[in-house]
């Protein structure tokens, strides 16, 4: 596994970003756009996946990173549940549902594997800016 220097380097974050953009795309028109509750909740869940990955990456300890990844995984599950409602209400056609659901499922599986990997590593503080000196006046 290569070492990511920024959260944007993580494949799971990139997929979560793609998923978020799909959710915004499909929830912007028609009856779906007018169902403010479901639309907004799905958007929040999708944004939560990528945000928790980023926040965890920037956290101080590996244990905190794992905690945030678990929150992201929970949001991926929440979004999958909401996608069923969007499909059942006729807000998205089956092919669009399948595209978003598949991406949400991939994110969830990647997060599970990432958590599992991190749990097998030493629980040491992660240092990101080696050799950088900060001058405080």
Query: What would the pLDDT profile of 85-101 be if each residue is shown by its tens digit?
Result: 999 999 999 999 999 99
Residue 130 predicted with pLDDT over 80: no
- 8 Å CB contact between 13 and 54: yes
Dump pLDDT digits (tens) for 59-87: 989 999 999 999 999 999 999 999 999 99
pLDDT exceeds 80 at position 1: no
Domain count, the chain: 1
pTM summary value: 0.87
Domain range for 29: 9-119
Question: Does residue 133 sit within a domain?
Answer: no
Query: What is the three-class DSSP state of 37?
Result: helix
CATH of residue 104's domain is 1.20.1440.60
Q: Identify the sign of the CA torsion 117, 118, 119, 122.
A: positive
Mean pLDDT across 2-18: 92
CB 24 within 8 A of CB 44: no
Statement: residue 36 has pLDDT above 60: yes
């Amino acid at each position: 596994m290569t070492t990511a220097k920024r959260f944007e380097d993580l494949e799971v974050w990139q997929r979560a970003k793609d998923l978020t953009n799909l959710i915004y795309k499909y929830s912007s028109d028609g009856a779906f756009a007018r169902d403010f509750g479901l639309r907004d909740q799905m958007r929040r869940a999708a944004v939560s996946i990528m945000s928790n990955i980023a926040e965890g990456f920037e956290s101080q300890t590996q244990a905190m990173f794992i905690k945030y990844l678990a929150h992201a995984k929970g949001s991926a599950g929440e979004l999958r549940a909401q996608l069923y409602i969007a499909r059942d209400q006729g807000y998205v056609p089956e092919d669009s549902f399948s595209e978003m659901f598949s991406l949400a499922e991939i994110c969830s599986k990647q997060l599970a594997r990432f958590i599992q990997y991190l749990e097998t590593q030493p629980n040491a503080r992660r240092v990101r800016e080696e050799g950088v000196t900060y001058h405080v006046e």
